[in-house]
Amino acid sequence: MQARPRPKTPRRHFLGIARGRPRGYRYFDLLLKHLSGDLARVFDGRLTYPRQLEIHLPADHVRPCNFDCGHCQGRLLERTLAPYEPKALRLFDELEGRIPYHIFGGAYSEPLLNPLLPDFLELTKKQGSFFGIHTNGSLLTRLERERGFLTRLCRIATSPEDYLSVSLDAGRPASHRATKRPPADCFDEIIEGVRLAVRARGRRRRPSIRLCYLLNRTNGSEDELHDAIRLAEELRVDSLRFSIPYDLYGKGFDKVREYKARVEAPEHEHFSRLLARLLSGRRPGRPSVFYIPPDCQDVDRMRFRQCIYCYYQITIGADGFVYRCSSTATPSFKMNRLGELPARREDFERLIRTNEDPSFDPSSCFRAGARCNRMALEVNLEWADLSRPKEKG
Ligand code: SF4
Ligand code: SF4
C-alpha cells in the first residue's frame, strides 16, 4: 500500500530535474506554488482549479497551421477544428479569473491564425489572469501592421508572467525553411515581428518574450547556434531555450525507444557538448540561454501510477472538447476527453473534478500512443517520488 503523501513541502524536495532552468520552467515548483505549498490538496476530494487552462484555438477553421514542421506533434494525429470560440468566451466570462494562467498554443494549431485571439487575451487580462502564447511567429509582423496586435498585447500585459513564446527553430533563413517548411520564406519577417514586440513593450519588459529552438543537424551547426544566440541578445528577448524534438505523439513506446536510441541519445551527446560553452549557466543577465535535455521527455521514466498534471492544467482542444491534458487534446485520443466544452462554470467544474481522479491510470494513455509532455512528466515523477513508501532506518 502506498504511504500517504506528506502534506507540506518536504525540506528535501525534488529530484533536481529542473536544475539550471529559469524559474518559469521549473514545473513542479510552479505547481507547488499554485497549491500554496500544500500537497495535501492533491486528491483530497475537493475541487481545486488547475494552475492553467490551455486553449488550442481552432486556427482559421480551415487549416490548423500555415507551417508543416517535420517535428509537429500533430503529424500522426487527427487534427479536427471546430468553431467553439463564442462558447469559450462565455465560459471565460464565468470563470472570472479562477484559473490564473490562460495558455494559447496547440498540439497542432497556430493560435495567431484565429481572429478572436485578441478577444480571448483581453478577457484573460480583464479577469486578472495571465496569458501565454505559443506561436510560430510568422504572423506577428502582419498583425501588428494591420491591427496593432503587438501594441495591444503589450498594452494589456501586466506582468512578466504574461509571455509570448516564439518557436524560432533556426538561426538562419535556409535552415528555417528546411525545418519549418513554411509556404514562403519568412525567417526575416519573424525576426522583425519579435523586434516589433520588444519595441512595443519598451522598458516595461512585459510580456516576457521567449524564443524556442528545436535542434537538428540542419539548424545545429556551431556557427548557426552562435548566430541564434547573438540574435537573441540583439533582439533583447528574455530567454532562448534549446531542446531536441520529441518523437511524434501517436506511436507505441517501442517506436519511441527506437527514436530515443537513434536520435535523442546521439543528438544529446553532440549538442550538450556544443552548447556547454554557450549557455548562460549561472551568469546573470539576459537573455537566459538554456538547454532542456531529452531525459525530460524519456518514455522509460513514464512508470508512475498517478497523474497529478490535472492540477497543473486542463485543455480545450481545437475540436471543441475538454481533455485531460494538452498532449492528448485530439480526437485521436478520445479516451482522454472529459466532455464537450461547456459554456457554464458549474459544468466546467464537473469536468475538472472528473480530471482530479486518483484512480486514473496513466498507462491507459501510454497504451494508446499518448505520452506526457515535459511538464507532466516532471510533476508526475516528483509526485511518484514523494508518495513512494519510504524505507525504514
Ligand atoms: S508551427 Fe507548430 S503547429 Fe505549426 S506545423 Fe510547426 S509544430 Fe505544428
Ligand atoms: S498523457 Fe500523461 S499527463 Fe496526459 S493524462 Fe496521460 S498521464 Fe496524464
Cα-to-centroid distance, 310 and ligand 2 (Å): 8
Cα-to-centroid distance, 330 and ligand 2 (Å): 13
Would the CB of 153 count as within 6 Å of ligand 1? Answer: no
Positions of the chain with pLDDT under 50: 1-15, 393
CB 84 within 8 A of CB 341: yes
Rounded to whole angstroms, the Cα distance separating 235 from 238 reads 9
In testing the pocket of ligand 1, which one of 54, 56, 66, 67 has its CB within 8 Å of the most ligand atoms? 67
Q: Residue 343 corresponds to which cell in the numbers above?
A: 459554456
Would the CB of 136 count as within 6 Å of ligand 1? Answer: yes
Would the CB of 69 count as within 6 Å of ligand 1? Answer: yes
Would the CB of 110 count as within 6 Å of ligand 1? Answer: yes
Record the pTM. 0.94
In testing the pocket of ligand 1, which one of 54, 56, 108, 134 has its CB within 8 Å of the most ligand atoms? 108
pLDDT value for 283: 62
Q: Name the strands in the sheet holding 337-340, side by side, starting at the edge strand that comes first in the sequence.
A: 288-292, 239-243, 208-214, 163-167, 130-135, 101-105, 52-56, 313-316, 321-323, 337-340
Rounded to whole angstroms, the Cα distance separating 354 from 206 reads 35
In the chain, domain spans = 23-387
Ligand lying nearest the CA atom of residue 138: 1
- Closest ligand 2 atom to Cα of 307: 8
Q: Which residue, chain included where needed, has cell 471543441?
A: 320
Q: Residue 232 corresponds to which cell in the numbers above?
A: 537573441
CB 201 within 8 A of CB 248: no
CB 56 within 8 A of CB 326: yes
In testing the pocket of ligand 1, which one of 110, 113, 165 has its CB within 8 Å of the most ligand atoms? 110
Question: Ligand 2 pocket by C-beta < 6 Å: which residues?
Answer: 307, 309, 324-325, 327-328, 336, 362, 365, 370-372, 376
Residue nearest to atom 6 of ligand 1 (CA): 69
Cα-to-centroid distance, 322 and ligand 2 (Å): 14
Q: According to the 3-state scheme, what is the secondary structure of 105-164? A: ECCCCCHHHCCCHHHHHHHHHHCCCEEEEEECCCCHHHHHHHHCHHHHHHHHCCCCCCEE
Q: Which residue, chain included where needed, has cell 518536504?
A: 10
The 10s digit of each residue's pLDDT in 289-300 is 999 999 999 999
pLDDT value for 106: 85
Ligand lying nearest the CA atom of residue 64: 1
Amino acid identity of residue 307, one-letter, is: C
Domain 23-387 fold is TIM Barrel (3.20.20)
Residue 337 bridge partners (DSSP): 323
